[in-house]
Amino acid sequence: MSQTHTRPMPTIRVIKLSKSYRVGRQAVPAVRGVTLDVPDGKIVTLLGPSGCGKSTTLRCIAGLERPDDGEIFFDQRPLFSRARGIAVPPEQRNVGMVFQSYAIWPHLTVFQNVAYPLQVRRLPPRQIAERVREVLALVGLLGLEDRPGPYLSGGQQQRVVLARALVYRPDVLLLDEPLSNLDAKVREQVREELRSLQRRLGITTLYVTHDQLEALGLSDVVAVMQAGGIVEMGSPQELYARPAHPFTASFLGEISFISGTAASADGDMVEVLTSCGLLHSLRSERALAGKPVVAGVRPEHVRLSRDRPRDQTNVLEGTVVSSLFEGTRVKCRVAVGEVTLLAYGDELFTLNERLYVSIEPKHLMLLPHLAG
Ligand SMILES: Nc1ncnc2c1ncn2[C@@H]1O[C@H](COP(=O)(O)OP(=O)(O)O)[C@@H](O)[C@H]1O
Ligand SMILES: [Mg+2]
C-alpha cells in the first residue's frame, strides 16, 4: 500500500493571526494579523528575513504557541479561534513537523528513530514495521534500518527526520528551515528530493525559509513576510518578475533600482523621468502618473555593449566600476550618473571603460517609492 493520494488533504486556513511574546513587562509583537491559505495538496512558503515571524506563525498552526488573536482551520475544522474560545491541543491536530534545529536520537537506529512516533501511538509491532519500511522507501533510506544515527550523513539524517514526521500520516506538513543544517551541495539535492516527495504525496505543506532560492524552487505559492506581516503572495514566477513591493523585489534576488517619477502613458509605454534620463516601461496599472516610483531591473536583463545598440528604447551611457569573472557569467557594475547598475553577461570589461547599457521596457519594473 502506498501513502500517495489515499485521502484528500485539508486546506490550512489562517485568518488574522496575531501573537506577541512577553519579554519582561513588554509585549513584543511577533506576528501581526497574518491571513493565509495553503490549498489542499500545495506547498506554500513563508519567506522573510530572520525575526520576521515565520517560526511563530508555524508554531501557532502546530499548536505549540497560543495566538493572541485570529483563527486557524484545517478545512472546516477550527483548531484555534479566540472569538469562539477554541484551542485544540497539538497532539490532536495531526501535524507532521520538522524544526529548524532538527535532531535524530543518536542512540537509536534509523528504524527506531522512525518507529518512535508509532510506538507512542501504540500501534501493533507488525503494523509499525510495515509503515516504517513504507516511509523509508519514500525518502530513499530502505536498507539502512539498522544503521545507528551517528553513522549517517547530514542529508541522510535529514531524511530520517522527515520520515519521522511522515510516518504517522499527518494531515499537513510544517517544515521550519529543514535544510539549514546541511551544506550547500547536499541542501540543493535534498531540496529537489523534498519537492518531488511533496508532489508525490500531495501533502498540504507550509514551508518556512529565509533562503529565496529555496522558496522559488520549492513552492506553489510564496508569501513574503516582513516585520510580522505578509507583504505579498504569489507564484514564484509572478513574484520574481512582477513584484508589487520593492521589499519583495530585492528579497527575491539581485536588482538595481533607479528612482524617478512616472510621467504620462504614451500608447503601450509609461515614461519614467529618472536621474539617468527618460526611461520607458510597459504600461502598468501600478505606474500612476505623477507619482514617485522606483524602476527596478534584474541583472540578467541589463545588457552591456561597446557599440551603441540600435532600435533600443532604453539606452544609457555608463562607466565600468567592476567586472568579475564568476565561471558561468561575468558580474559587472556600471555607474550611470549617480546610480550603479548590476549586470550579468558573458563579456569581461575593463575598469573605467565607457559603454552602453540597455534595458528592454518589458524588463523595467515600476514599483511604488517607499517613504523614508
Ligand atoms: N520565545 C520567545 N520569546 C520572546 N520573543 C520571541 C520568542 N520567539 C520569538 N521571539 C521574537 O519574535 C519575533 C519573531 O520570531 P520568529 O517567529 O522566530 O521569527 P523567524 O522565524 O522569522 O526568524 C522575533 O523578534 C523574535 O525575537
Ligand atoms: Mg525561525
Output the CA 106–ligand 1 centroid distance in Å.
28
Query: 283 to each of 88, 267, 288, how far by Cα in Å?
Result: 49, 8, 10
CATH classification code of 12-107+160-246: 3.40.50.300
pLDDT at 285 over 80: no
Residue 1 binned pLDDT confidence (cut-offs 50, 70, 90): very low
21 lines ligand 1 (CB under 6 A): yes
Task: Map out the domains of the chain as residue ranges.
Answer: 12-107+160-246, 254-368
Ligand 1 atom at shortest distance from the alpha carbon of 57: 17
Architecture of domain 254-368: Beta Barrel (2.40)
| Angle, alpha carbons 72-77-83 (nearest 5°) | 50
Instruction: Give the tens place of pLDDT for each residue, 139-183.
Output: 999 999 999 988 999 889 989 999 999 999 999 999 999 998 888
Indicate which ligand has the atom closest to the C-alpha of 65: 1
Of the bound ligands, which one is closest to the alpha carbon of residue 31? 1
Comparing C-alpha atoms, which of 104, 95, 168 is closest to residue 131? 168
Look at residue 89 and tell me whether its pLDDT is greater than 60: yes
Strand 204-209 vs strand 43-47: parallel, antiparallel, or unpaired? parallel
